[in-house]
A and B are shown apart, each in its own frame.
Chain A
Amino acid sequence: MHLLGQTLISGFLLGGMYALIAIGMTLIMGVMKIVNLAHGALVMVGMYVTYICFVLWHINPYAGMFISMLLLFVLGSLIQRYMINRLVEVDSILPENQVLLTVGISLVLTEVIRFIFKSDYLSVSTGFSGKTVFLGKMSVSVPMTIGFVIAMVFTYLLHLFLNRTDLGMTIRATAQDRDAAVYMGVNVSRVTMITFGLGSAFAAAGGSLLLPMFYLWPDIGHLFTAKAFIITILGGMGSTAGALLGGLTLGIAESLGATYISMGYKDVVGLVVFLLVLLFMPGGIKSLVKR
């Protein structure tokens, strides 16, 4: 019995952090209809920023996260303004151009980081990295719990932002109908810039929360792009609640798979869930809520 508990706890906590990374992607995908394959690379850059803050100035990763979010907001906005916008606004020959562009951006980011830091594995070890609390026989990792709580707070704040503020509503309006938003006087290019910035900042936050218990190397981005992609589809594009549920579902599914099938098939479990959702619930979790 405690094995099931341990599995669920691990999956749940990890899923929360997956969700935070995926929320960034779902924002960008939902609002701009762009498949952003550079998302994982942005997570990676965010993690490196947090890492530098820790190594050079001994800033706790949870504080460094805010610096990293700010920087990534700027980086994301710039990428959107000067690179992606150029493709969105022009009728290009191939609609897949955005995909090619984001893949390119991700390669450039990865190789620049490799140029600076080499391919070494880096990790941040803080006093609490290995701390655990025992609930009965189940061990709960402290950094994971902190990460989970912060991820939930961010998700809730984003939810409030999108539903209660003017800017948030403008973002949602642009997501629903870009042309109509333009006619209503929305400065769409500014909105998309902010959205991309926000998405990148959330990517950085998710990465930074993982840093105290995981490790870092330039190619880590692919892992996150894949996970965020699955979760975004699971949850339904552009939905915060959907991404949250999607993240938790993926985390728990992976954990259960690892315990009861085999850890070698952990990724298979996630992908099977993904396929089932695509086949039987193409709108994602979001479509369930609507009905």
Chain B
Amino acid sequence: MKKISSIVLAVILVFTVMLTGGCGNSSKSSAAGEVKIGVILPLTGSEAMFGTMEKNSFQLAYDELKAAGKTSVGGKEIKLMFEDDQSKQDVAKSAAEKLINQDKVAMLSGGYSSSCTKVIAGSAQTMGVPFLVVTGSADDITKQGWQWVFRGAAAPASKYTEALWDMMDKVIKPKTAAIIYENTDFGTSSAKAFRTACQKKGINIVFDQSYESGAIDFKPMLANMGKSNPDIVFAVSYVMDAAMIVKQMKELNLNTKLFIGGGAGYTMPEFKENAGNASDYVASTTLWIPNVKWPGAKDYFTKYKEKYNKEPDYHGAQAYATMYVIADAMQRAKELTPAGIQKSLKETDLMTIMGPIKFEDWDGYTNQDKPNTYVVQWLKGNLQVIWPQDVSTAKYVFPVPKWNER
């Protein structure tokens, strides 16, 4: 009896291995009819929610392109191969190497967290395969002078705040500021840029602290911050930390004139759902909004909502636009080799739902698109654009009412 069950167990194990390994292997037979594109995203782990949204958006764009006949290039069919990086750098590296060496992909895309993106970019650069970043935003990813790394739909972290600074100069005019940020690549990169900008404008930073993502209790840090009584708070967090932070600020009855999130978590629908009415009047920088003027933006939003029954935010839009950039570059490439695609990517000039995308060299960046940024604010449960004023959908509320006056 024991023997039989151990045999059964062994068989199950073998099957599991085959199933998990199989995703990659099945495509080895692909031969000449396909051109493969590797997409590395966090599909499991704590960032899986973002990764899944981006994968869905890739798929949505791919299906549209397919319907329009744009997924075949010179008789070859474009094929997306998704790999999971589990938000871990070592896994991201092996995924990139596997895609390049075993699957012989023509180019790479994906990259959600900055730390994983950096690792993938490193592999792509050394092995000479083009890599088009979807989200990873740390400044130095496109500051290494790496010719094989392109960033189109994502802004460098320090440029997320362009529209915000414009608004700061004209409306907010704070004297003191507090910075709280998660101690990740993206968090430190954003905080550093904000700090430098504050120093330049003579804004006094009265509180400046990082935190470890996934904490249950932010109160010690928040209470400490409250003591310094800042005019504004600038916070860089992923979605659930963001919700915990504003909820606990409400519990502590901690008031500031304006709470500004640095993108990422503060614009997500989940943020509002989890933070409840504590999310009211929270402002954030963002790279995209459904009602932006670029063609197709609103369409994407409704289509995504219909198909997946959830609202996408700018992360999904980045992936969607990226897929269009890839298809466009493929169509124009003279030859479907890494070098051919690199050349054609460099010549990209495409209108997407994230705005026009071009890969330019500026300010020390290489192959970096110049981003458009916005400031949004949660007003009565809806995310409204409040800056720049020519595209705003609602009038900003500043200074925001105190917790006990709401």
Contacts and interface: CB of A to CB of B under 8 A. Distances in A.
A117 B338 CA distance: 39
B393 interface: no
Nearest to B5: A86
A3 B227 contact: yes
Given A119-B48, A123-B274, A264-B209, A14 B223 contact: no
Nearest to A132: B251
B119 to A, nearest CB: 20
Interface string A32-68: 0000000000000000000000000000000000000
Given A121-B239, A121-B270, A255 B276 contact: no
How many B residues are at the interface, by size bracket? Answer: 35 or more
A217 B46 contact: yes
Given A120-B49, A130-B276, A263 B220 contact: yes
A121 B240 contact: yes
Interface in A216-272: 217-219, 223, 255-256, 258-259, 262-267
Interface string B194-213: 00000000000000011110
A6 interface: yes
Contact of A219 (B44, B217, B218, B224): B44
Contacts of B216: 14, 210, 213-214
B46 A219 contact: yes
A213 B250 CA distance: 13
Contact of B276 (A6, A125, A219): A125
Contacts of A118: 49, 52
Contacts of B74: none
Main SS at interface, chain A: helix
A266 B211 contact: yes
B33 interface: no
Contacts, number: 107
- Residue with the greatest number of chain A CB neighbours at <10 A, chosen from B52, B211, B250: B211
Given A130-B247, A263-B212, A264-B183, A121 B220 contact: no
Interface in B287-316: none
Contact of A10 (B214, B217, B273, B276): B217
A214 B248 CA distance: 11
Contacts of A77: none
Interface string B170-194: 0000000000000100000000000
B209 A255 contact: no
A7 B347 CA distance: 56
A10 B253 CA distance: 15
A7 B223 contact: yes
A92 to B, nearest CB: 12
A125 B333 CA distance: 52
B215 interface: yes
B219 A223 contact: no
- Residue with the greatest number of chain B CB neighbours at <10 A, chosen from A6, A130, A217, A258: A258
A259 B223 contact: yes
A7 B240 contact: no
- Residue with the greatest number of chain B CB neighbours at <10 A, chosen from A7, A114, A210: A7
B120 interface: no
A264 to B, nearest CB: 4
A265 B215 CA distance: 11
Interface of A: 3, 6-7, 10-11, 14, 111, 114, 118-121, 123, 125, 129-130, 132, 134, 139, 141, 210, 213-215, 217-219, 223, 255-256, 258-259, 262-267
27 contacts: A3-B223, A6-B219, A10-B220, A11-B217, A114-B44, A118-B52, A119-B43, A119-B49, A120-B270, A121-B240, A123-B240, A123-B273, A123-B274, A129-B276, A134-B253, A139-B219, A217-B49, A217-B240, A218-B48, A219-B44, A219-B45, A219-B46, A255-B220, A258-B215, A258-B217, A258-B220, A259-B221
Given A139-B219, A217-B48, 16 more contacts: A3-B223, A10-B220, A119-B51, A120-B270, A121-B270, A123-B273, A125-B276, A130-B276, A215-B244, A217-B240, A223-B214, A258-B211, A263-B220, A264-B210, A265-B212, A266-B212
